[in-house]
């Protein structure tokens, strides 16, 4: 990684990425419409803020870790990662690479993180690109692949998970934080209320019902936890126990897998 904040673009290899899928194009359009409101909307949710903090505690990155923040959006996971490395591990060597398809979201992450000591020390890299084919990324690069609330936007989980497998080091771990679309009754009730409430708030902010609906509904369509764990297994990840932590009585789930060493 170079000594200053790096940036590269995903346009390098458009043929290998699934950029023609309707869902992908629609989600990209929705995030462009939503980008400037995103941080206020998300940080206004105490539950989401607490859940993301809990995720980083469960991830518990090691000192010197190479961290991939996939579908980084405005950079929440990266900020948490460095705060954890500073506060818990007292580590100054770890690095983060933020990847996102949407240039408007990534521009906000760059603005937010560029003045930090982590960026000034050359420990942050930004890549505009698709999770299904990360441009210019060698295999066996990362210790941790983290994706907060990004997978439900992606039309081809299998391709994305296989690309995650490729870029992780043997023994490296993948963490996917998602809406839990499973069957816990309390979770279903709260989730349903939360979705309706957030749909309304989002619509007020972006003043565009169609865009707000795309964002809210893509979360609803995510597979149930056992089905997504099966997708991870099919992509080759080793899974322990159920393969996920259910959070807040089934509102969110953190999926965990390991790239086998051989």
Closest by CA position to 91, among listed 57, 127, 60, 112: 60
Give the distance between the most distant pair of CA atoms in the chain. Answer: 51
Q: Which residue is nearest to ligand SAM (CB)?
A: 73
Interface residue with ligand SAM, options 59, 81, 85, 150 (CB under 6 A): 150
Interface residue with ligand SAM, options 1, 42, 162, 199 (CB under 6 A): 42
# residues contacting ligand SAM (CB under 6 A): 22
Contact 49, 41 (CB under 8 A): no
Residues 8-37 that bind ligand SAM (CB under 6 A): 24, 27, 31
Contact 195, 219 (CB under 8 A): yes
User: Residue 50 CB: number of other CB atoms within 10 A?
Assistant: 12
Residue that the structure tokens 């000594």 belong to? 3
Residues 187-226 that bind ligand SAM (CB under 6 A): none
Interface residue with ligand SAM, options 5, 78, 130, 144 (CB under 6 A): 130
Residue 101 touches ligand SAM, criterion: CB under 6 A: yes
Binding segment for ligand SAM (CB under 6 A), chosen from 88-96, 148-156, 198-206, 233-241, is 148-156
Residue 167 touches ligand SAM, criterion: CB under 6 A: no
Minimum CB–partner distance for residue 92 and ligand SAM (Å): 24
What's the CA gap between 75 and 112, in Å, rounded? Answer: 8
Contact 158, 128 (CB under 8 A): no
Binding segment for ligand SAM (CB under 6 A), chosen from 114-122, 147-155, 162-170, 202-210, is 147-155
Residue 247 touches ligand SAM, criterion: CB under 6 A: no
Minimum CB–partner distance for residue 189 and ligand SAM (Å): 23
Nearer to ligand SAM, 100 or 143 (CB): 100
Give the list of residues 6+ apart from residue 36 with CB closer than 8 angstroms, or none. Answer: 104, 108
Is residue 231 packed enough to be buried (19+ CB in 10 Å), middle (13-18) or exposed (0-12)?
Answer: middle
Residue 71 touches ligand SAM, criterion: CB under 6 A: yes
Contact 178, 160 (CB under 8 A): no
Binding-site ranges for ligand SAM (CB under 6 A): 24, 27, 31, 42, 71-73, 76-77, 99-102, 105, 130-132, 148-150, 153-154
């Amino acid at each position: 990684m170079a000594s200053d904040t790096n940036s590269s673009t995903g346009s390098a290899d458009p043929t290998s990425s699934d950029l023609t899928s309707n869902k992908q194009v629609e989600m990209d359009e929705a995030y462009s419409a939503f980008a400037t409101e995103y941080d206020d909307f998300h940080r206004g949710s105490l539950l989401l803020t607490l859940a993301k903090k809990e995720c980083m505690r469960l991830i518990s990155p090691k000192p010197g870790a190479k961290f991939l923040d996939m579908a980084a959006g405005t950079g929440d996971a990266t900020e948490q990662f460095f705060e954890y490395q500073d506060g818990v591990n007292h580590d100054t060597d770890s690095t983060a690479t933020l990847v996102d398809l949407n240039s408007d979201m990534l521009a906000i992450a760059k603005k937010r993180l560029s003045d930090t000591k982590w960026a000034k020390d050359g420990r942050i890299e930004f890549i505009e690109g698709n999770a299904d084919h990360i441009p210019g990324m060698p295999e066996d690069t990362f210790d941790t692949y983290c994706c907060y609330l990004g997978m439900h936007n992606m039309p081809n989980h299998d391709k994305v998970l296989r690309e995650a497998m490729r870029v992780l080091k043997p023994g490296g771990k993948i963490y996917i934080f998602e809406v839990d679309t499973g069957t816990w009754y309390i979770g279903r009730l709260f989730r349903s209320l939360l979705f309706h409430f957030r749909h309304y708030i989002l619509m007020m902010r972006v003043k565009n019902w169609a865009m707000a609906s795309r964002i809210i509904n893509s979360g609803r369509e995510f597979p149930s936890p056992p089905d997504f764990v099966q997708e991870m297994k099919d992509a080759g990840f080793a899974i322990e126990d159920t393969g996920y932590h259910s959070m807040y009585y089934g509102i969110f789930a953190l999926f965990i897998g390991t790239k086998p060493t051989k």
